[in-house]
Amino acid sequence: MDTKTRGAALVVAAVVLLVATLGVSAAMAPEAAVSGDNEERRTLIGIQGGGPGWHEHGSIANVEGTEVTWRLADTDSYFDVTLLDNGSVMAGFMDSGYEECGPYESPCTHSGFRILDPETKEIQYEYSFPVRSSSNSEVHDVERLESGEFLLTDMEYEGLRIVEGGEVTWRWNASDYYEAPPDQTRRDWLHINDVDVIGEGQFLVSVRNANQILVVERGEGVVETINTDDGGDDSTCTTRGQLADQDGDGDVRCGDPAVINHQHNPQWLGGTPAGDGEAAVLVADSDNDRVVELHRQNGEWEVAWTLERAGGIDLRWPRDADRLENGNTLVTDTLRKRIFEINRNGTVVWSITTERVPYEADRVPYGEPSEGEWYAGEAPNQGAGGGIPVLDEAAALLPGVFPWLPFWFNGAQLGLTLVSLGIAGVGARDLWNSR
């Protein structure tokens, strides 16, 4: 076989392999969008966006059933979204192009929260402040307190703040509990990404990079740590410029990654916030690609229920899980770009997909209930299927940059696509050399 013929044969073989890979995968893929039962559902979704850093095309979407009835796409990224009693929407956000930049060069990026009119899409109120970077400095979560004040996470300076009338009235600094770097704005140190009110002056706080969830009490500080440091390997907390041993004692405060690993959006399901009494938390265990329910018994927190697969599809970096009023669970499966609801048996009763990377979703008008049913002993653990670890991890990074990729594009599809491109490259070289 001469060089030209071999080159043409290789290009044809590469095309056949690629088409067969994609065609068979699409045909065999389970259905990601499920209209579900006859129950009426309204869902509010905060969409972080896409592109580099996922800081482009942020939006908020209102979904009736499985149809988007309105969308607001006016900022780089939206995160936590909440429907207020008056019908307005409150949302954490990050956006660029601000002129008021404090210590930073103008124009700069601001992060904070907005209250929006869903009908006119106008900003009714905004509280924001300049941040050094558009990446890992965002306000991911905001809660409106009964006092009318606003409680929000502060990833720029790593802590919590309560604001009223645009002024900070209270702060909790994570440096009171964790070893802080000299300049907290220059590294993604703790990545505090969620806060919920669970009692009078008691807040449930997600400290992502420490693999820990805290109960912080006003006037007392940290009164409970979920997933305490057991003296094990701290590498999941210290890589990529996260926690560092600032005091030189050879240790950082890092929870066991087998329990939760870089989690998002914990939900308090009930119990006593501190002490040895029984309690439960539902949380998106993001880096473990699952949702877990943790129970405390005799002072120890343990995994009581897990969800790694739903509707025949493995979860891929979920970032929100809410136990609903009806006892079902609503999950935002970020890198699959889907939001789904399962019942106690693990059956998907409703599901939709999004064009861009979603951050979290609330079932309207309930939002995220402050308490919910406990699943342990009721629902079977839903384990994940097999995969190709290295290729699956690489494929997981692609949907944010290439939003057109289908949810079923996993490690196997990526591997066969690369093989196809390699064969085509060799064939193209042979054709070039045979000119």
Residues 355, 351: Cα–Cα separation, whole Å: 14
Which CATH number applies to 30-407: 1.10.10.60, 2.120.10.30, 2.40.40.20, 2.40.10.10?
A: 2.120.10.30
Report CA 200 to chain centroid distance, whole Å: 27
pLDDT of 38 reads 67
Domain edges within the chain: 1-29+408-435, 30-407
- Whether the link from the prior residue into 107 is cis, omega within 30° of 0, is yes
Low-confidence ranges of the chain (pLDDT < 50): none
pLDDT on residue 173: 96
According to the model, what pLDDT value does residue 145 have? Answer: 96
Distance CA 418, CA 16 (A): 13
> What are the tens digits of pLDDT across the range 168-181?
999 999 999 999 99
What are the φ and ψ backbone dihedral angles of 118, each rounded to 5 degrees?
Answer: -70, -20
- What DSSP string describes 25-58? HHHHPPPS-B--SS---EEEEEEEEBSGGG-BSE
Q: Which residues contact 424 (CB under 8 A, 6 or more apart)?
A: 10, 11, 14, 15
What pLDDT does 377 receive? 58
Q: Roughly how many angstroms between the first and final C-alpha of the chain, as a whole number?
A: 16
- What is the pLDDT, as a whole number, of residue 400? 62
Reported pTM: 0.88
- Predicted confidence at residue 72, as pLDDT, reads 95
Tell me the per-residue pLDDT of 18-45, one tens digit each, with 9 for 90 and over: 788 777 767 766 766 676 666 789 999 9
Q: What is the pLDDT of residue 21?
A: 72
Q: Point out which residues pair with 195 in neighbouring strands.
A: 205
Measured CA distances, 167 to 100, 103, 104, 173, 260 (Å): 16, 18, 20, 17, 35
Count Cβ neighbours within 10 Å for each residue of 229-249 and write b for 16 or more, e otherwise.
Answer: beeeebebbeeeebbeeeeee
Q: Are 283 and 218 in contact (CB under 8 A)?
A: no
